Amino acid sequence: MSIVDLKHPNGTIYVYESHSYWDKEKKQPRNKRVCIGKRNSETGEIIYSKRFEQEIPETIRRGRKPQTQTRRVFYGATYLLDQIGEKTGLTEDLARCFPESYKMIQSLAYFLILESKSPVSRFPKWDHLHLHPYGKNIPSQRSSGLFSQIDEASKMAFFKCLAERRQETEYLAYDTTSISSYSQSLKQVKFGKNKDHDPLPQINLALIYGEKSNLPVYYRKLAGNITDVKTVRQLLQDLDFLKIHQIKLIMDRGFYSEDNINDLYKHHYKFLIASRISLKMFRGFLNEIRPDITNRKYYHSSTGLYIQTFPHPWNYRELKPRSQEEVHGKRRMYIHFYYNDQLALDERKQFYALLDQLETELLEGTRKPEHEKAYAKYFDVTTNRNKITVTAKESVIAEQTKNYGYFVLISNAVKDPVEALHLYRNKDLIEKAFGDLRERLNMRRTSVFSEENLEGKLFVQFVALYYLSYIKKAMTDHNLFKKYTMQELLDELDVIECFMREGKQPQLGEITQKQNDLYTAMGVDRPT
């Protein structure tokens, strides 16, 4: 959504909300404009139309007394966010890096959190019902101006501040996600492997999370056609720039390559990374463990898995930049194999069901174009006097299924396979963070059409994600998800009122014991 001004021949400036959508019939992005009012030629403020004004509280309509004289606002949820900002140092870091605009950044982040999935154009209504850091309305034109003013230097300075506050002992989880876009003007919007299977071009977003703190540390926008494996080298440069020390990374198998592993060794970084079980380097180990992997001595009841670990030196190589001399050596590595017998059974059942479907299609003459490669791979088909004979390629099928149920983790630091598994499973927090970005913070599809606005909006969404991540960890630590969703918790606090009168001390509304307990669980004092 964006705000568009159109000047009438009579001089009146009309204001429109422009909404982008995907036209399924024409298979292209389209825009729909809705007039919301006029622009005041002297003040630049929007004079909302009667239809739009109905959604705005009576206290803010023209001709009323200024809201600063007497005002009753919701305070409980924004107070919680205020305290989180103070407790974590987030407010201090924002003020240091964005001294002129940090309160506006915070207020927009609060809005995105408390008004999940709402466009920024709805801020005026929310503003007049809530107490927030900026304390004033932020019309769409103003927020667009803010987005365009968030520059790269200030962002990187902010990330350095976050890096200084992180726990040096924790691993950093690294992953990427795709964000679909209707824009045809953004340079990095490209068609690529869309992780949500959305038929639109996209940008990619790389994110780093603290494994213990559960807080985001850094993000970077990427072109939509950049694959995961190609991002690691730039990641290492970014980490070096941010002066993050004692780096320990957790990554998915999409980031594995020999070059990336060599780069990690070169920088003396610790890592834990998943890898494809089909790689040549694992074949000998798998052939050795398959016959007796389900022996009781390899079973770990705490994980429900069969586990074997092998210390195995990595054949390190490095190309010297000046001399172009290739240096070789051995580096320590642990290879952890895991076998899930239930997963193997499920994967085999699913695969056999597919084979049955393919065979039926061949026998009945109902071949599908998308299955042609699978037909040729798994079956021999002959026709004699109009009779079709289908024979399964048993050796190919056996080769396909032999690794079902297995997965592998490699590390240069984590010797204990159970610890390695625990660390890797904690990486799920980054997937949940992507879910928050896409769903709660309205990032599934971006309708921003300028590079500057996109960068700024992504940053505000990242700040909002920081608050959400803190709340989610506190809820997890205190088992609050058994009683509340995150939205329910925020709603429970958001009903606390504050009555404000000019020249008088603000008067806080009633706080229930349940609300007081929630503040305690969040690690903050109740408002007074």
State how beta strands 314-319 and 326-331 pair: antiparallel
Amino acid making up residue 149:
Q
In this structure, what DSSP letter does residue 229 have? G
434: confidence class by pLDDT, cuts 50, 70, 90: low
DSSP annotation of 232: H
42 falls in which pLDDT band (50, 70, 90)? low
| Domain layout of the chain by residue ranges | 1-55, 70-165+450-528, 167-252+427-449, 342-401
Q: How far apart are CA 508 and CA 78, in angstroms?
A: 13
For residue 415, count other CB atoms closer than 10 A to its CB. Answer: 13
Distance set, CA 469 to CA 157, 204, 233, 474 (Å): 21, 21, 27, 9
Both tokens assigned to 466: 């920081």
Residue 286 has pLDDT above 50, yes or no: yes
CATH topology of domain 167-252+427-449: Nucleotidyltransferase; domain 5 (3.30.420)
Structure-token pair, residue 455: 């960068």
CA distance 471 to 83: 11
Neighbouring C-beta atoms of residue 465, cutoff 10 Å: 26
Q: What is d(CA 389, CA 367) in angstroms, rounded to the nearest whole number?
A: 14
Sign (positive or negative) of CA dihedral 135, 137, 142, 148: positive
Rounded to a whole number, what is the largest CA-CA distance in the chain?
Answer: 99
d(CA 440, CA 357): 39
Cβ pair 73, 130 in contact under 8 A = yes
- pTM (2 decimals)? 0.77
DSSP per-residue letters across 348-369:
HHHHHHHHHHHHHHHHHT---G
Residue tagged 């001595």 (tokens): 297
Give 369's contacts (C-beta < 8 A, 6+ positions apart): none
* Residue pLDDT, tens place only, 96-135: 999 999 999 999 999 999 988 778 888 988 998 899 999 8
Supply 494's token pair. Answer: 């958001």
Nearest CA to 428 among 253, 304, 244, 250?
250
Tens-place pLDDT, residues 166-187:
877 889 988 887 766 544 544 4
First to last CA, the chain: 39
pLDDT of 51 reads 58
Mean pLDDT of the chain: 83
Residue with tokens 């001294």: 99
What does the radius of gyration of the chain's CA atoms come to, in whole angstroms? Answer: 28
pLDDT band for position 222 (cuts 50, 70, 90): confident
Distance CA 306, CA 286 (A): 13
**Quick count: other Cβ atoms within 10 Å of Cβ 113?**
24
Supply the pLDDT for residue 488. Answer: 93
Choose from 78-92, 129-143, 419-433 the range with maximum mean pLDDT: 78-92
Query: Strand pairing partners for 379?
Result: 392
Query: Residue 254 pLDDT > 80, yes or no?
Result: yes
55-90 pLDDT per residue, tens: 544 444 444 444 445 678 899 999 999 999 999 999
